[in-house]
Structure 1
């Protein structure tokens, strides 16, 4: 019987060599589906568990920034401030060639206050009123004595239903509105607050624009001015270009004293504080005031500012 071991050895070598040739001849994409299937079964692990432990491991979590509850304030120590006479001198240099009665001085008072707190709003008659062409509307019975007296005092509109219809049509041809007490119920029934409220023209007992006799308060309304806090700032026309420094001083002093009284009234609800007072004009820049009338080293005198406008 012949020995079969050499034959078996040769057959095994042939089978191994054939297998190597088949494996080398297979294209690479052939194995790709198998690797993709294997890769799809593996899931990426996400950090979970205690957030403090994640921070220790290096996982950074974003925090929501809290919004500001107060208006942004700037440090006034390093800013240049001016006396009243120096500020008027520079502003008049910007207003060269303008009419003394057409250009106005404005004062802006910046407050330290909360954004969502109550706001300051009031009316003031200055010692030296700023002349303005104010159109006044008086809501009262058209055939009454109040209507006749209001027209003599300078009202441009007097009546009830005619005024209500014009306002609803969008024809608001007045700057101030006074309501006689007998017409207040009709005005509320006509829902005038929807149209006049957003414009700041709705009569109110608190502002003194709902009165028994409108003609008696029209003089103060024409010579007075209304101010209101907006975004932590109160602005008001404080004088005209032809005013003397002494007249401006009296007006600014009266305005600041009125603001202090308004702040004291609100002190129980919210704390407000005046941090900056800026004087400007119609075309001129804003100059911060330091609270003095004239600087000792000033190159101009109040008399020179009084004679030339």
Structure 2
């Protein structure tokens, strides 16, 4: 087991690792336990009662966080013609088609999210092997393969995130920055969990939300009482 630093151990000493915290208390405790010199990200992890090996129990979706992520999101759009102009007007940072594909083939990845119109996917597929592992490949399921490029760009800029349950049945997602304060982080978590609950597979039996924990980039994990989620997401 890796050795932990003094600051981490000090932060962990302020947390009751056996306790299941209320949401607001958990967020407040995570913020107080933050010790890094930079503005740490607050992350949430949710353990679901699903078996992702079965297609009908795959949980995947998107949500626009009400307070965003607290960072500038650089959006690239693969489009041509009037859709290229629409993307530029919507605030996309990079817009193009074959020129951008060639640039990426050359090793450039100066963007955070990518959007493509359906008619561009044949060409974009050429770089799928380099975009896919980086989580940058446009996908219709996350709303990033669409002719509604303006809407897609605006949502990504506003803090839209996509998530997918891992093999272990856990979903991880960022919820904003420590500097947001307790209220904004709680509201972001609420929006995220509302979406998770709404996406519950009909084939999932038993307890769906098995465990929830939050942490900052460098800080210890704090367990949240999943029973209070019903009240939070009403």
Structure 2 length as normaliser, TM-score? Answer: 0.76
Aligned twin of 2:9: none
Distance 2:28 2:147 in 1: 45
Tell me by how many angstroms 1:156 deviates: 2.6
Tell me by how many angstroms 1:194 deviates: 2.5
* SS of match in other structure, 2:47: strand
Distance 1:260 1:285 in 2: 26
* SS of match in other structure, 1:81: coil
Aligned twin of 1:228: 164
* SS of match in other structure, 1:197: helix
Q: Is the 8 A contact 1:84 1:245 kept in 2?
A: no
Aligned twin of 1:207: 142
* SS of match in other structure, 1:184: helix
Distance 2:101 2:186 in 1: 42
Q: Aligned pair count?
A: 207
2:85 counterpart (145, 148, 151):
148
Q: Is the 8 A contact 1:103 1:241 kept in 2?
A: yes
Tell me by how many angstroms 1:203 deviates: 1.5
Confirm whether residue 122 of structure 1 aligns to residue 61 of structure 2. Answer: yes
Tell me by how many angstroms 1:93 deviates: 2.7
Alpha-carbon distance change, 172 to 274 in structure 1, aligned in 2, over 3 angstroms: same
5+ residue gaps, structure 1: 1-77, 294-309
Map residues 20-99 of structure 1 onto 2, 5 A cutoff. 79-96=18-35, 98=37
Distance 1:155 1:243 in 2: 25
Distance 1:186 1:287 in 2: 45
Structure scoring higher RCO (CA < 8 A, sep ≥ 6) equals 2
Alpha-carbon distance change, 81 to 115 in structure 1, aligned in 2, over 3 angstroms: same
* SS of match in other structure, 1:222: helix
Confirm whether residue 286 of structure 1 aligns to residue 225 of structure 2. Answer: no
Distance 1:120 1:181 in 2: 24
RMSD, aligned CA: 2.6
Runs ≥4 residues deviating over 4 A: 96-99
Larger radius of gyration: 1
